[in-house]
Amino acid sequence: MTRRAKKIRGTTASGKPITDELVAELAERAEAGYEVEEIVRRRGGRPPIGSAPAAVESVRLDPELREALARRAERDRETTSAVIRKALRRYLDVA
């Protein structure tokens, strides 16, 4: 009995060879359907803050203010961004 070599049609992003068997397996899974919530759920990245996607604002800081910010962040064991957000919320009286 002669055994045919598997035909490889490329590789997946992870480097797995794409064979006829893999294509058939993936097609079978697709035809069975997917759980939409699982596919579209958030994966990785930064966690959301606030009620909508956050915006990035650039602010120039003089060396003394930057040093004070770094000391405060270290003291509070927070990021400088978190310290800035807290300070702005207090200053602007926003919850």
pLDDT given at position 44: 66
Is residue 3 included in any domain, yes or no?
A: no
Domain span holding position 69: 56-95
What was the pLDDT predicted at 2? Answer: 57
Question: What per-residue confidence (pLDDT) applies to 58?
Answer: 92
Asked if residue 62 is part of any domain, the answer here is: yes
The pLDDT of residue 41 is 67
Amino acid 5: pLDDT: 64
**Mean pLDDT in each 10-residue stretch from start to end of the chain (95 residues)?**
70 87 89 77 70 85 96 96 94 90
Contact 3, 10 (CB under 8 A): no
The per-residue pLDDT for 65 is 96
Nearest to 18 by CA among 6, 30, 32: 6
Give the pLDDT confidence score for residue 53 in this predicted structure.
Answer: 78
89 and 66 housed in the same domain: yes
Sequence-separated (6 or more) residues with CB below 8 Å from residue 83: 69, 72, 73, 76
Domain assignment present for residue 28? The answer is yes
Q: How many domains does the chain have?
A: 2
- What is the pTM (predicted TM-score) of this model? 0.51
- 47 assigned to some structural domain: no
